[in-house]
Amino acid sequence: MSIMYVILPLSLVMALVAVIAFRWATRKGQFDDLETPAWRAVLDDDAGREPPKTG
């Protein structure tokens, strides 16, 4: 059962990584607007085929 001493810290490290990722995403504003991105995704599939002009 000494595997516990490996698994437990490992799972905590994973949780820590998730928290850091979440914090990063929140600070980047990923959760500021929860409405528009959903619509954006729907529309991109149907009509956003034109390549944007570079210039």
Partner 1 sequence: MSTTADRPAAPAATVVACAHCTLPVPAGGVVAGAPHQFCCAGCRTAFAMIREAGLEGYYRLPQRREQPVEGTSKGYDDFDHESFHALYVRQRPDGLCETELYLSGVHCASCVWLVERVPVILPGVRHAELDVRRSLAWLTWDPAEVQLSAIGRALDRLGYPPHPFRGANREQLRRQAERAMLVDVGVAFALAMNVMLLALATYGGWFSGMAREHEQLFRWVSLGLTLPAFLGPGRTFLRGAWSSVRLRRLHMDLPVALALTAGMVRGTVNTVSGSGPIYFDGVATLIFLLLTGRWLQARSQRAAADATELQASLMPSEARLVDADGGVREVPTDSLLPGSRVHVRAGDVVPADGVVDDGRSALDQSLLTGESRPVAARTGDRVFAGTTNVDAPLVVRVTASGEATRVGALMRQLEEAARRRAPVVAMADSLAGWFTASVLVLAVITWWCWQPRDPANALDHAIALLIVTCPCALALATPLAISAAAGKAARAGILIKGGDVVEAMAKPGLLVLDKTGTLTEGRAGLVQWRGDDAVRPLVLAVEAQANHPLAAAFARAWPLLPVPAADDVRVTSGAGVCGTVAGHRVCVGKPSWVAERAVGVPPGPEPGPDGLSPVWVAVDDIVVAEARFGDPVRADARAALDELRATGWRLRVLSGDEPAAVVATARALGIPAADAEGGADPERKLAVVRGLVARGERVVMVGDGVNDAAAMAAAHVGVAVHGGAEASMAAADVYLASPGLRPLVRLVEGTRRAMTLLRNNIILSVVYNVMGAGIAMAGYVDPAIAAVMMPLSSVIVIWTSWRGKTFTPEGGA
Which residues of the shown chain bind partner 1 in the complex (CB under 8 A)? 1, 4-5, 8, 11-12, 15, 18-19, 22-23, 26-27, 29, 31-33, 35-36, 39-40, 42-43, 46-50, 52-53, 55
SS3 for 53?
A: coil
**CB 42 to partner 1: min, Å:** 7
**CB 5 to partner 1: min, Å:** 8
Q: Are 31 and 25 in contact (CB under 8 A)?
A: yes
Short-list 11, 52, 42, CA closest to 3:
11
